[in-house]
Amino acid sequence: MATWSEVRAVLSRLRDDDSHPLTQFPHPGSDSQRPPFQISLAAWAVDVAEDLNRRFGSDVALTVGALTYPDRVLDRPGPGGRSAAGIVPDLDPARARVALDGPLSVRSGHSLIHGLLVTNQATEDLAIISGRTLIASVVDPDSGVIVGGYSGFIAAVLVRHVVPPGETTRIPLLVATDSLVPELGYAVPPGVWGIRATMHFEAGPAARSPILPLTITSS
């Protein structure tokens, strides 16, 4: 059985790694922890998970992106286009128009903050409520099926984005490539994909954007 001091030494090293492979982990400053030690890693950090599994076996419970390691079971759902009532409807183009703030490209297993340009097509202010960012889902561009996205925890901070009539506002958009489909691996692989973002409005029902282009490159 692995001791907490052994695992803590490894976590301290990984925590200080400039590539930031850890996403969630027991704090190395803690005096005592009991196995299995819950450790979550970025979707690109499969080699780190392999090393931890080799060293500590069942004494560590590993998640890489959204999937458990090494058995690739979906650990928790990522963002999706569903509400309590079912599928979120598509955005009415008479209400708002959306576009990306330039071409969107991200490395497989990684994430970035891009910009979603929202143009108010109505005659009254449009208020969108989000966290610090909107969160994109990665989708198959042909079917619209969700295949990936952000699988981490979201801070309970609400931001109100107001778009006046006829004007355009840039809203930060988090694009992550954690795979939600075990057959694809831990990260959505390189290729041409799409993204959708669900927008929650201060007045009226939520709506999801049309599919916007995403290129995923080799990590």
What's the mean per-residue pLDDT of the chain? 92
Residue range 101-119, pLDDT digits in tens: 999 999 999 999 999 999 9
Stated length of the chain = 219
Smallest CA-to-CA distance from 187 within 111, 113, 112 is with 111
Residue in the structure block whose two tokens are 């029902």: 205
Tell me the HSE value of 76 on the side-chain side, using a 13 A CA sphere.
11
CB 99 within 8 Å of CB 123: no
Crossing angle (nearest 10°) for helices 46-56 and 4-15: 160
Strands 60-64 and 37-41: parallel
Residue range 14-48, pLDDT digits in tens: 999 999 999 999 988 888 889 999 999 999 999 99
Residue range 173-208, pLDDT digits in tens: 999 999 999 999 999 999 999 999 999 999 989 999
DSSP string spanning the chain?
---HHHHHHHHHHHHT-TT--EEE---TT-S---SSEEEEE-TT-HHHHHHHHHHHGGGEEEEETTEEETT--B-S----SEETTEEPPBPPTTTEEEEESS--EEETT-EEEEEEEEEE-SSS-EEEEESSSEEEEEE-TTT--EEEE--S------EEEEE-TT-EEEEEEEEE-EESSGGG-SBPPSEEEEEEEEEEESSS--EEPPPEEEEEE--
Question: Whole-angstrom Cα distance, residue 165 to residue 94?
Answer: 12
Question: Whole-angstrom Cα distance, residue 162 to residue 126?
Answer: 6
Q: Which residues are CB-neighbours of 50 under 8 A, at least 6 positions away?
A: 69, 70
pLDDT above 70 coverage of the chain, percent: 94
Identity of residue 19: S
Residue range 157-182, pLDDT digits in tens: 899 999 999 999 999 999 999 999 99
